[in-house]
Amino acid sequence: MLHKANEPFVRHFGGQLLEEIVKNKWNDISINRKNEVRSSVLSCLSTGTKDMMEEQGFIKEKLASVIVEIAKREWLRTWKSFQEDLHHLTTLGDTQTELVLIIYRNLAESVHVFNEDIPKNTIRLLVNGILDMSKYIIKLLYNVLNQCYAAYKDVNQTERKPRNTKLIHCALKTLQAYVEWVPLTILKEQNIWEVLCVMLQEVPFRTVSAESVILILDRKEKSDEILLLFPFQHIEWISKSAGVKSGNFEDDHAFENRLCQLLTLCGIKHLTIYKGGTKNNPPHYQFYLELMMRATSHPSLKITTLCLSFWQLLLKTIPNLEWREVICKQLLLELTVKSLKIDYKACKKENANPIQAYIIADFECSSDLHSFFSTFKQKLIGLKSLISTLCPHIALSHVENNLAGITPLLSSPTMDLVQKAEVVYSDVSVIVPSVFTLPLDPARIPQIENIMKILVSTPEEPLNYDHIPSNRVNSVRETLISSKIESLASLGGYYMLNPSQIDIVLGRIMKYITFCNSGETLQNLSKETLRIRRKSSESFLKLCNDVSTILVNFIDKLKEIIMQLIGQGKLRSTEEVPLIKALVFISNKLNSFERQKVFLHEIVSKILAAWNGNQTNYFLSDLNNFLMLLGVEKKSNQSEVDLCRNQFYSILNTLYVVWKFSTIPKENEIRKAGGYYQLVENNEVLMYPLETYLPLILPNTLRLITLLHQLWTPPVRASLSEKHKIIYTIDEITIANVLELENGIADLPQLDNETTQARNFLMNTREWAYELLGLLIQHPKFYSLPEIDSKLLISAFSHVEHVENNHLKSLMNNVIISLSQTVPVNMYGSILPIVFQTCFAINTKLLQNWEEYKEFLEKNGEMSMILEKQTSELTPEEIQEIIKEKFLRDATRSFTSLLFQLFSTPEKVPTPIFQYFNTNHFKSLYSLLESTSLILNLEDTLTFNNMIQFYSSIALFLLPISSDLFEAKSNPKIVTNERKSKIIPKVEEIFRNLVKLLFLSLTREKFVSNHGHTLLLICTIWKHANHYESNFVWKIIKELPNADPDKLKKLESLWNNTQTDKTKKNVLKDFLEHTVGISIGNTLLKKKSNILEMPVSFFIHRLKNKSKNKENEDLPLEYLAQLFDKLSGE
């Protein structure tokens, strides 16, 4: 069937049959028959194939695969002439040489990449065998490349050019399979560096050559890492390759991407080897930097973003670089051009500029571009900020010149000018504050004063919009006003030096807090107007935070203005909160505790009166009344509902803001932080200024949370009309963020305004209520308040099984963790059972949600397939599932994090807790543990980490009684009947689950670096549990795959006959590797993530990790280590 006269599919089928025989029946064949098969295949390779230009590629690959499969089984045992046989084939001509190259390539890949079917010991032997002949293989590849390239360039051998092209390409692909791991000295001896750099200049070979260089640079070398800097020696050849064009845009761009990766990786490799100093710079370094700057200015944003990582590391690593100022100046110019926003639709026009042309090549749709540009912009800001600290005079000159050039033109702007102005104002907001992060050079003050002078010299709004399309006027107005105000607010450092300017700036900013376009009212503001007002409030808040010590002199005037605006109804409820927050920031700088107290009282007293007033009490007294507040009752009057909701929202937000952000003046000694403060004056303890309000805030906060939870119960949901059930849907902003929609909520269908307002009010109210309650719980007097009604407290945690997962996450993070970590010892008995019961309900809900999610996947396919779709292709059900899956995963992570935090703070939860635990308390705890053990099977690394920490921390937590577990057999007298029947079996279950988790972590690739620690802890627990009459570790081992009685008996014998921890660890390791099939600490078996296959974002992440030069531990070892130390010390 392999005869070359047969049809290709027949020959391929014959090769497939032969390969299957070698893979599955080889051990059943006699030695003579094996030799015959091997000889037949070699004969086929020598004379039984067509010419290399005629033979099909899949036939070549199949024949090579057969030889490789035979070699994997016989080469190191009986086929001693393997290398000589293949060498003989290379002497027969080009056709056989190509086949040999394919064989060597497949051999390397089958051992280093596709090795799942090869025993571990065999892999080691094969790797050593390949290494032994690697010098021969590399020399063979060099000879083929050298000879074929000479012929390829020979004008007298043009008829052989296709053959030489094919052989060169095949040799380069084979070389790729070896350059990642053969000794660097061999590559250097065979001049592989020069060959690859020469090939970069040839269009047919440039991309594969660049990929080989990238693979070499990506190696993690120690002794020979200096050899990895070879590209600097040949930088001129690399530079020439950038100018070679094929005439095919896509092919040229693919090579440009690879070339940029090569240059960036080379530069970062140098910076990680050398820690600074020009004397250590490699040859032609200035020319290399010029190449990197040319790459940075490339029209492709993806190529630019690759370069940013290098520049960031360069400026940090070599701060005194000779060409630093020139580099910084050029970078600022390039980054300004790349900061301009890009309209994806405009890129498809025929007259698109170079940047737009590359946008279409780099991004499949506008959402891809939007997602990328958001991250890209943050990188630009980070680099600009760094440049500002290193070369402030250059950065300030850059801003000064751009402002001076663009400001006069803004009186009658064009659309292009508006975009440039937004970038210039953004540069002011980034560069000037960055300059003030270091001691200011007096020579820079005139520059900053000139920037300030230019900013205030013209109004925020243009004189006319003659050159702006009428449908874009509002958005242009919003862009110019918002960006100008943000830039003014960012100059806090300058205002600290020149307080006289603050009055002018405050007037400019506060003017737009109540901004309205002609014809607009507070009830019908456009989205552009709302953004102007929001940006103004945010800018005012930032300014008050940055220069609060100056604004103390204006505090009474500001309070009067703000209270007047609120009283006159010129602000929406959401706009009041940042202004109140700004006043709190300023009040924190008052030099008198009593004055601050009075000031805050003036703000809070009216709010508290309203919080406990008749209207609020009415709405919170009954669920039906609360539904009226939401506006979902038939009798609801919409205008009245809106007014009541706004008032309620403002009250709740103000309480939260004032409580959280007010602190004690700096002049006094802060004794405690985190939600409350203590002031010591004359040995008298004065509590946090708002502590007297705690009893006034708490009851209605608990009632509000209780009603919010009741609202989600099935009977209440069923009672609402279809229109009003929108309140249970996820808001558009959240959906847009999760789906990364370019235009945010504009890309989503708009729902009924009245009902969505109720939904958004409900969502925000819930978040504020959770955060406020969490802060109140942290107060030391919370648990001593007579106003705490135990029934009310319990009701606030009721119905959690019906709470949506996104809200559930907030409840856990803000409330339950605070409750569990601040409860005093004397209230363990009343509070902890509530916490356990709540956790049990949450766990039940999450497990049910995961089951529902699995059912969805069985019906609709894997989530990865759904995520590959464009947003427009997603069905409403799929969108909901994407959102639900994210919330479910986040909630599960929060829940498992909550679990281990419950028992991981010994300074807050002391060991004597058990003297307060009765049987019922243990029962609640163990019910929780039994149910959470089901989470162990979830495929989520962070959740897995949390569960590891949970079980190890709770094992530490229960260690005072775990001695009963470990000593019960030898000391039966210490075990009471109650503990033996009710407690010890439960503690055993805890350790059993921990050991199961540890065994499971051994099968997970991400934890391979921690296998040694994990094995040692398993052995320690096993050694102690071996004394117990029911050895749970042994039970788990007996349940492992392939653990038959004979092997278990051998393991038990070896274990009992070893004494040291190290030998016991090795015994267990050998059993797991050779019997169970778990590879312990073996990265060789794991397929390495190929840097060539990474998208740009992951490539950059890889570069960051290289620059940090630090190995990350994936498995949380803190509590495991504590547990090991405790057990080992017994």
Phi first, then psi, for residue 518 (nearest 5°) are -60, 130
Per-residue tokens: 110: 């089958």
pLDDT digits (tens, 9 = 90+) for 128-168: 889 899 999 999 999 999 999 999 998 888 888 899 999 99
Better-predicted residue by pLDDT, 299 or 884: 299
pLDDT band per the 50, 70, 90 thresholds, residue 406:
very high
Residue 978 vs residues 413, 982, 984: alpha-carbon distances, Å = 84, 6, 9
Quick one: what percent of the chain has pLDDT higher than 70? 78
pLDDT digits (tens, 9 = 90+) for 550-590: 998 889 899 999 988 888 888 887 788 899 999 988 988 88
Better-predicted residue by pLDDT, 946 or 752: 946
pLDDT band per the 50, 70, 90 thresholds, residue 537:
very high
Residue 824 vs residues 307, 581, 678, 833: alpha-carbon distances, Å = 55, 32, 18, 14
DSSP string, 244-275: ---S-HHHHHHHHHHHHHHHHHHHHHHHHH--
Better-predicted residue by pLDDT, 1106 or 856: 856
Pairwise CA distance, residues 580 & 651, whole Å: 11
The dihedral built from the CA positions of residue 325, 328, 332 and 333, taken in this order, carries a sign that is positive
pLDDT band per the 50, 70, 90 thresholds, residue 973:
very low
Pairwise CA distance, residues 638 & 629, whole Å: 10
1056 has pLDDT over 80 = yes
How big, in percent rounded to 5, are the helix, strand and coil portions of the chain? 75, 0, 25
What is the average pLDDT across 595-609? 84
Which pLDDT does position 536 carry in this prediction?
Answer: 94
650 has pLDDT over 80 = yes
Which pLDDT does position 676 carry in this prediction?
Answer: 38
Rounded to a whole number of angstroms, the CA Rg of the chain reads 35
Instruction: Name the pTM for this structure.
Output: 0.76
Locate all alpha helices (DSSP H) within 662-752, ordered by sequence. 694-711, 714-719, 732-739
Pairwise CA distance, residues 637 & 629, whole Å: 10
Pairwise CA distance, residues 131 & 637, whole Å: 83
Locate all alpha helices (DSSP H) within 1009-1117, ordered by sequence. 1011-1025, 1032-1038, 1045-1057, 1061-1071, 1096-1108
Which pLDDT does position 1085 carry in this prediction?
Answer: 37
pLDDT band per the 50, 70, 90 thresholds, residue 208:
very high
Residue 684, classed as helix, strand or coil, is strand
Which pLDDT does position 907 carry in this prediction?
Answer: 46
CA angle centred on 314, ends 308 and 318, rounded to 5°? 160
Pairwise CA distance, residues 970 & 973, whole Å: 9
911 has pLDDT over 60 = no
pLDDT digits (tens, 9 = 90+) for 423-471: 999 999 999 999 999 888 999 999 999 999 999 988 888 888 899 999 8
